[in-house]
Amino acid sequence: MGPKYKVSLYRFVYSGKLKSAALESGEKYGFGPIEVVRGGDYCKLINSIIENCTSEYALVSRGKVFWPIGIGSAIDSAIESANEEFGPARWGIVGNCGIEFISHRKIEYLQTRFCKIIPSCSGKPRLATALDGNTLLLNIRNLREHSVRIPYGLSGLSIPGLVLVMEGYRQNLVSAVDSALYVFDQTDVDEYSYKTESRKSKFRKYWSSTFLNKSIDTVYGTIKLDNSVDHLKKNSSDTRLDYYSHVASVVRDLYSSKPKPVLNIVARTRLERPNQLRRLLDTIRMARSFSQDMLDLKVVLAANNLGQSSCGTEWVLAEYPEMEFVISRENPSIHGYPRVCAVRSAVDLVEEDSFIWFVDDDDFVYPESLQYLPPFLSPKTVFVGDSAIFDEEWSGEETFPLKSRKSGIYKSDDYQECVLGENPIPFCSVIYPSALLKDICSRFTLTGDYCEDYALFLIASSSATVMNVPLLIAGVSRHGGGTVSQKDRTHWNYSYASFVSEIVRMGVFPSWTADHLRKRTPQKQKSSISRRIKHILRRLSNLVKI
């Protein structure tokens, strides 16, 4: 079966040898007819493709790029994913390497002569604020309808991917990166040539007359400009855009017109801390009212480990009449340990095609972050965000902590550390697709008490794409003598052993993961200085006694 969509293929090369190789590849590898352009200006070529291409889509590559055999189906897949995610009329360009929306991080689904790491799967098209120009899939109809062109006078091999994306956003068309467009790129475009092109006065003039930003993130690093600060002056009539805010508003507009994903915030509570619970619910209320056109927020109270001091929550819940609470009460005789039990009963309650965000009742959510979540939520991905750590002092009667100080951040970028036996990601940093958790709960016994969040993340991250985004989504309160700071780790260790044992027995990780890690970071028996000092002190104290 041939490709589904009609796509014109273009190659931009700068030598006769490359041109003949590109032409030959069309026949040899079944790419079909390719229009190969040698020399001239890449920007002009792209503009001319947008104006003259007879197909609805065009794929253009520059330099020494090796397409996979059967790229037609890969292009089909990229078009279908973009149509499904953004709608056929709302996207302009899809590439394989770019700067991700919100995270400002370079994401690349290609191999180059500088980086040969085999990329993972993107899961779905990931919104980008800048693209690399090695391979661009152009939605010709949309670009033409919205009059998106590279402005006259701009030239270069590297900047078209950047400028075209910017012009697209100015006309409300989004751009994205998709692993379906993977290529092997051996072109010599580097940071130096990129910076040279961005230093040209025409580019700078374009930039400073259109945007008020002082820097822009590109795949080759950050470009800085001494841009005018007219927008800050008294009674300013400066109409230039903040590029990144504008992208955020285009994305928000796009996702508010789509069906809203259901996000279940599952608050685990022992019903002992009404003041903390109220703070959490206050922030959920703020989040809800600010993101209601993009997300359908539901609140599930998972009551666990109820003790003597547990109180009714009705009087707290009554203060939030606009929220619909689903209260899941554990049944330890069926489900086992209370923390896992709370997770299981909440997972049973929520809908299959929704998402689950576990928080403890002393955590809180960052209301404004939620508006950025929909582009990152997908049934096939586990979302990991950042969480701020707050050292707090609470007294029983006070509605608020006596002291609250931000002392650090659990960074989503550290999520890979979990495979080394550490848990750098708190429960409230992760948003799971419900179906994935339902599947895990049905396949695993999850025996143990503490570390249940770690176990769930390990299992989930091995069977789904992890989308880690440095977006602050929650605050974690550290107060009192919690489990993490307990000196006696016996119960904790038994739990840890039980969870990891099941993960090992079920073969969650492929064997090469451990082999690779052992090779890279040999595990040495550590004898820390503090341990040695303690040992010496113990011996000294024994001597004193004698």
Partner 1 sequence: MNHWETLGRCGRQFRETLARTKFSDFKFEEFVSETINIFCSASSKEVEKLRAWLIPSLCNQKMAPEICLYIVNYTGVGKIYDGPARVGNLRIEELNKGVACGFGEAHNFAYSKVEPKGFFIIANPDVYCHQSCISELIRTRAANADAALVEARQQPFEHPKEFDESTGYTPWASGFFLLIDSGFFTQAGGFDENFWMYCEDVDLSWRAWLNGFKVIHCSKAVGYHFTGTYFEYKANRYYLENFWTARNFIYLSYKFWGNKAEKKAIAKFLRRSYPANFKQEVMRSYEEMKGNLPPRPPLIVGKIGRNLSDKVKITGFNLYHRERF
Least distance to partner 1, CB of residue 238, Å: 12
H or E element at residue 364: strand 364-365
Residues 298-337 that bind partner 1 (CB under 8 A): 319
Does 393 bind partner 1 (CB under 8 A)? Our answer is no
Question: Buried b / exposed e across 258-269, counting CB within 10 Å, b at 16+?
Answer: eeebbbbbbbbb
Least distance to partner 1, CB of residue 346, Å: 25
Nearer to partner 1 among residue 458 and residue 476 (C-beta): 476
Rounded Cα distance between 491 and 478, Å, is 20
Does 444 bind partner 1 (CB under 8 A)? Our answer is no
Nearer to partner 1 among residue 82 and residue 219 (C-beta): 219
Residues 372-391 that bind partner 1 (CB under 8 A): 390
Beta-bridged to residue 364, according to DSSP, are: 475
| Binding segment toward partner 1, per CB under 8 A, in 145-153, 340-348, 362-370, 530-538 | 362-370
Q: Beta 65-66 vs 57-62: how paired, if at all? A: unpaired
Does 217 bind partner 1 (CB under 8 A)? Our answer is yes
Nearer to partner 1 among residue 205 and residue 233 (C-beta): 233
Neighbouring residues of 286: CB distance < 8 A, sequence distance ≥ 6: 367
Does 238 bind partner 1 (CB under 8 A)? Our answer is no
Does 155 bind partner 1 (CB under 8 A)? Our answer is no
Among residues 48, 193, 210, 228, which is the contact residue for partner 1, using CB under 8 A? Answer: 228
Interface size with partner 1, residues (CB under 8 A): 38
Least distance to partner 1, CB of residue 231, Å: 8
Does 296 bind partner 1 (CB under 8 A)? Our answer is no
Distances in Å between the Cα of 101 and the Cα atoms of 56, 303, 372, 492 are 26, 37, 9, 39
Does 253 bind partner 1 (CB under 8 A)? Our answer is no
Residues 164-193 that bind partner 1 (CB under 8 A): none
Place of tokens 């751009």: 175
Does 364 bind partner 1 (CB under 8 A)? Our answer is yes
Among residues 40, 400, 480, 493, which is the contact residue for partner 1, using CB under 8 A? Answer: 400
Does 218 bind partner 1 (CB under 8 A)? Our answer is no
Does 406 bind partner 1 (CB under 8 A)? Our answer is yes
Least distance to partner 1, CB of residue 16, Å: 42
Q: Beta 57-62 vs 7-13: how paired, if at all? A: parallel
Nearer to partner 1 among residue 237 and residue 490 (C-beta): 237
Least distance to partner 1, CB of residue 235, Å: 5
Q: How far apart are the first and last CA of the chain?
A: 89
Rounded Cα distance between 16 and 529, Å, is 64
Does 5 bind partner 1 (CB under 8 A)? Our answer is no
Nearer to partner 1 among residue 145 and residue 242 (C-beta): 242
Nearer to partner 1 among residue 81 and residue 213 (C-beta): 213
| Binding segment toward partner 1, per CB under 8 A, in 59-67, 235-243, 478-486, 535-543 | 235-243
| Binding segment toward partner 1, per CB under 8 A, in 19-27, 402-410, 413-421, 443-451 | 402-410
Contacts 24+ apart (CB under 8 A), 243-247: 243/129, 243/166, 243/169, 243/211, 243/213, 243/216, 244/129, 244/213, 246/169, 246/170, 247/101, 247/127, 247/129, 247/169
Beta-bridged to residue 62, according to DSSP, are: 12
Does 242 bind partner 1 (CB under 8 A)? Our answer is yes
Place of tokens 């090796």: 66
Tokens of 478: 């550290």
Rounded to the nearest 10 degrees, how much is the dihedral formed by the CA atoms of 445, 451, 453, 457? -80
Rounded Cα distance between 277 and 362, Å, is 6
| Binding segment toward partner 1, per CB under 8 A, in 183-191, 213-221, 257-265, 342-350 | 213-221
Does 229 bind partner 1 (CB under 8 A)? Our answer is yes
Does 68 bind partner 1 (CB under 8 A)? Our answer is no
C-beta separation of 466 from 429 below 8 A: no
Residues 447-486 that bind partner 1 (CB under 8 A): 472, 475
Among residues 35, 41, 282, 296, which is the contact residue for partner 1, using CB under 8 A? Answer: 282
Rounded Cα distance between 435 and 226, Å, is 49
Rounded Cα distance between 136 and 138, Å, is 6
Rounded Cα distance between 380 and 461, Å, is 10
Residues that bind partner 1 (CB under 8 A): 212-217, 226, 228-229, 232-235, 242-244, 279, 282-283, 285-286, 289-290, 319, 364, 366-368, 390, 399-400, 402-406, 472, 475
